[in-house]
Amino acid sequence: MGNCNANGSGQGDHGYHRSRSPATSRRSRLPPQEKLKTQKIIFLIGGPGAGKDIQCEKLVAKYGFTHLSMGDLLRVEASFPTSRGRQIRDIMQRGDIVPLDIVMTVLKDALLTKAEAAKGFLVDGFPREVSQAQEFERMIGHPSLVVVFECSAETMVKRLVIRGQTSHRFDDNEEAIKRRMESYFKTDEPIIDFYSRKKLIRKILAEESPEDVFLKTCAVIDSLE
């Protein structure tokens, strides 16, 4: 973009600034709901302890994505002294799945709040059920990609036991961990099948070191460019 006008008079050097075109102005004023449709939204799926958190940290540092952890969003809601907060806390302490309407309200609010400044989204811990995936498509649209971190139950339990010693998360108790593991293995295949039919699934072996998993995840994300 030069500073001179068509006849070379150099008006740009004397405080002259061309106004943005109507198309540019319209793009910059897109409402959050429309803005979301122009951004990458990547779902990261994996059982509890599959290593989603550390991968999200690394991906945010590399790509500048906004990370939304469904579990963290719900834990924040659960901390509020409201009837909904108490309901969410009770459900999560048992290791059960939070109702669809609550999950979608919390996630959509977070996406819309951050849509203007975001360079794309990483959403982990979602969807937990096919109904959540279907409702997301109805309310927001298709994700750009769904990355599945594959990890054995033995490895995930080992990681969760170690994490539970320091995390102090109310849902990192033994009974909740057991229920979450059972819930994940019960629901993951239908979700993977749902997105496989849309050719959005990319599977990554998460048994390897965090660095190796990260490199493979980056290669998958770069394929979107």
Phi first, then psi: give them for residue 222, nearest 5 degrees.
-65, -25
Count how many Cα atoms sit within 13 Å of the Cα of residue 80 in the half-sphere of its side chain: 10
Residue 2 counted as domain residue? no
* pLDDT beneath 70, residues of the chain: 1-29, 164-173, 225
Q: Is residue 21 part of a domain?
A: no
Residue 195 counted as domain residue: yes
Dump pLDDT digits (tens) for 44-97. 999 888 999 999 999 999 999 999 999 899 999 999 999 999 999 999 988 888
How far is the C-alpha of 32 from the C-alpha of 75, rounded, in Å? Answer: 24
Structural domain boundaries, residue 152: 42-222
Tokens of residue 134, six digits: 């279907």
Say if 188 falls within a structural domain.
Answer: yes
The verdict on residue 134 lying in a domain is yes
Q: Is residue 25 part of a domain?
A: no
* Residue 92 · residue 171 · CB < 8 Å: yes
- For the chain, the domain total comes to 1
Coil/strand/helix, residue 225: coil
Give the tokens for residue 174: 């033994």
- Considering the entire predicted model, what is its pTM? 0.77
- Domain at 166, CATH number: 3.40.50.300
51 found inside a domain: yes
Decide if 131 is inside a domain. yes
